[in-house]
Amino acid sequence: MSIHEHLPPQARKELKEVGWTKGLELAKIARRDRQGFDCVTWLHKTREMPKEEFKQEVEKELTGKENERSEIVYFKLYKSQIPVVERAIETAALMLGSDKSRGYCLEMICAASWREQIWRMRIPTFSCSQHYGFLSFSPTKRGGHFCTT
């Protein structure tokens, strides 16, 4: 199936101006809405919004949720490091719940490492709860301790 099959005639005419990436996103909405597709509004959005912002708008329209922006991060691992990283992510997934993404698992591994480093440095009034919600550092008379919130 091509993009053209899901778009109304007006949108088909403007597909070259819109571009294929935005056209694909536009087709998702048109396929869902069929006869109720608001072509004028969505074509206006394709012209006004940058590609990534338009993709997010379509995702929000289709799912009803606003997703956090993401970025693909690349880094090099040696073959000997891959099993260690894989095991760490698998262990984190078991602890956090297997429905969590690998990115989230890696974030929690980093947060735990960061928390440990902060504890070792004994920084007195530090709180991770702003970003992670479950980590906070509270000073006491006998020294600091971590607690869950």
Note the pLDDT tens digit of each residue in 99-116. 778 888 999 999 998 888
pTM over 0.85: no
**pLDDT value of residue 127:** 53
C-alpha span between 47 and 11 (Å, rounded): 12
**pLDDT value of residue 146:** 44
Note the pLDDT tens digit of each residue in 40-82. 888 888 888 888 888 888 888 888 777 777 788 888 999 999 9
- Collapsing DSSP states into helix, strand and coil, what is residue 127? strand
Do the Cβ atoms of 146 and 122 come closer than 8 Å? no
Domain boundaries, the chain: 3-63, 82-147
